Amino acid sequence: MLSSASPAVMALVAFVHTRVAGFRDSGADGIGMPGWQIVAMEDDVVMLEASGSLLRAVIVARRNSPTRSTFTTFLFYRRKGAAWMWWFVRPLHQRVARYLLENGAAVDGEAVSRSLRPATCSTCST
């Protein structure tokens, strides 16, 4: 659960993920975002995945050094024309990713490795 994130931010994320991206709830214990599951979690890396009718998404957050973290999003489109959505969602995605990393988002009440808290987010710049 992303318990440390603002309820307003998480409501916006849930809306975009369910209504725009069409991510389906996996039914498994997730991370507080509809459809997202933790695929891998180590001290310096977290990999999340979500799937829906339009696309499959994978997010990898990695601590590269004490002062640098990266947050990489991979999108796998299932339908022609689904890529148009990224033009609108991308700026919001970058801001929310930066917000979650800078505020040390928590999963299941535990920090997603406090060492992932970045001094900068290299892939989140606009």
Q: Could you tell me what percent of the chain has a pLDDT over 90?
A: 11
Average pLDDT (103-118) is 46
Question: Is residue 119 within 8 Å of residue 67, measured between CB atoms?
Answer: yes
Residues 6+ apart with CB under 8 A from 29: 108
- pLDDT tier at 31, thresholds 50, 70, 90: low
Residue 55 has pLDDT above 50, yes or no: yes
